[in-house]
């Protein structure tokens, strides 16, 4: 299958819906400019879309595709960051105007800043739930304030609350910033030790945007990323975290970023595609989100 042509999420197994009818708008953003170790995130969206053709419609709990899938053409990522940022914001703004859910496929993590900025301009108050091995709270990295290592710092500076899960690799500057800023976090080691018995801060917004860097997963589960760190979350730990959060909060969008395909290994591409679709399933299966989006409850087969 050619990766040069436009691909639809879930392949031929799901007839694409028109933008105004699809709950989920998949936005591929193959942007890569500031990666600092391994490379290849620009190839991530196409690999995930191609692998998604192998997904089952039924997640084991529901069929999120029943609520409509629309896949945009891959975003033009030529030019500098400011040009790409404006294109991302325009796509996300249109999705938000239609009251649909942006599902952004990266690409490096920097793109999340543009998505958050676009959603903030809608006037809706929300917080960002950040899954990552790294805190991404540096003020600058390798001379740039728009490095993938700075994305959560830039989002937090917009006045958007941030919570972090699965972190385990960060510098003194980042640790001091999140302590002084009151950013709630649960490091990966704490989640392994204490389990998933946590509560988001009481003042955290009712609406959330989920930003999922695939290196949050342990490198035994997800080796195909630019900055793998041992000691990450297991597959089900990560999924149950997402499920718990989406059972408590309205989700206005999410991204999955920093996937860098490895030649000869198709398993990681399918893993990311499954992650994306399962997140759709948790969202569309959540009572609080069904009410907000006016979804009819779909009964799974018995």
Q: Is 38 a residue whose pLDDT tops 80?
A: no
C-alpha–C-alpha distance, residues 249 and 294, integer Å: 15
Q: Which residues contact 266 (CB under 8 A, 6 or more apart)?
A: 51
Q: Is 2 a residue whose pLDDT tops 60?
A: no
Q: Is 54 a residue whose pLDDT tops 70?
A: yes
Q: Band of the pLDDT at 22, cuts 50, 70, 90?
A: very high
Express each pLDDT in 157-198 by its tens digit.
999 999 999 999 999 999 999 999 999 999 999 999 999 999
CB 230 within 8 A of CB 79: no
pTM: 0.95
**b/e burial code for range 11-39 (CB count within 10 A of at least 16 → b):** beebebbeeeebbbbbbbbbbbbbbeeee
34-56: average pLDDT: 90
CA Rg, the chain, in Å?
18
Give me the pLDDT at residue 161, please: 98
| Phi and psi torsions of 196, nearest 5° | -105, 25
CA-wise closest residue to 146 among 109, 106, 173: 109
Pair type for strands 250-257 and 69-71: unpaired
Express each pLDDT in 9-19 by its tens digit.
999 989 999 99
H or E element, residue 104: strand 101-106
Q: What percent of the chain has pLDDT over 90?
A: 88
* Look-up of token digits 């953003």: 29
Q: Is the peptide bond before 230 cis (omega within 30 degrees of 0)?
A: no
Among 35-39, 92-96, 185-189, 291-295, whose mean pLDDT is lowest? Answer: 35-39
Spatial strand order in the sheet of 69-71: 69-71, 24-29, 101-106, 250-257, 207-213, 127-131, 162-165, 184-186
Express each pLDDT in 233-285 by its tens digit.
999 999 999 999 999 999 999 999 999 999 999 999 999 999 999 999 999 99
Give me the pLDDT at residue 143, please: 81
Domain 23-293 annotated CATH 3.40.800.10: yes
Give me the pLDDT at residue 282, please: 98
Give me the pLDDT at residue 3, please: 41
More confident site: 142 or 155: 155
CB 271 within 8 A of CB 172: no
Residues 219, 225, 229, 233, Cα dihedral to 10°? -50
């Amino acid at each position: 299958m050619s990766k040069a042509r436009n691909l639809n999420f879930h392949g031929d197994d799901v007839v694409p819906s028109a933008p105004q009818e699809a709950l989920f708008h998949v936005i591929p953003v193959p942007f890569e400019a500031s990666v600092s170790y391994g490379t290849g995130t620009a190839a991530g969206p196409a690999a995930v879309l191609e692998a998604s053709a192998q997904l089952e419609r039924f997640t084991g709990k529901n069929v999120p595709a029943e609520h409509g899938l629309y896949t945009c053409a891959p975003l033009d990522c030529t030019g500098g960051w400011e040009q790409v940022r404006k294109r991302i914001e325009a796509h996300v703004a249109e999705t938000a105007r239609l009251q649909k859910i942006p599902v952004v496929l990266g690409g490096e993590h920097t793109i999340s800043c543009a998505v958050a900025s676009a959603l903030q301009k809608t006037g809706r108050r929300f917080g960002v739930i950040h899954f990552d091995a790294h805190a991404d709270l540096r003020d600058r990295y390798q001379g740039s304030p728009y490095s993938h290592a700075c994305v959560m710092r830039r989002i937090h500076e917009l006045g958007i609350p941030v919570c972090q899960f699965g972190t385990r690799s960060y510098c003194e500057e980042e640790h001091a910033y999140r302590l002084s800023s009151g950013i709630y976090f649960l490091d990966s080691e704490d989640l392994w030790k204490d389990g998933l018995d946590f509560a988001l801060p009481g003042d955290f917004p009712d609406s959330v945007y989920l930003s999922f860097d695939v290196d949050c997963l342990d490198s035994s589960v997800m080796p195909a990323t630019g900055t793998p760190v041992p000691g990450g979350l297991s597959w089900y730990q990560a999924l149950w975290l997402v499920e718990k959060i989406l059972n408590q909060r309205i989700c206005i969008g999410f991204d999955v970023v920093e996937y860098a395909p490895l030649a000869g290994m198709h398993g990681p591409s399918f893993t990311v595609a499954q992650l994306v679709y399962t997140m759709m399933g948790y969202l569309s299966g959540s009572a609080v989100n069904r009410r907000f989006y006016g979804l009819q409850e779909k009964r799974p087969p018995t």
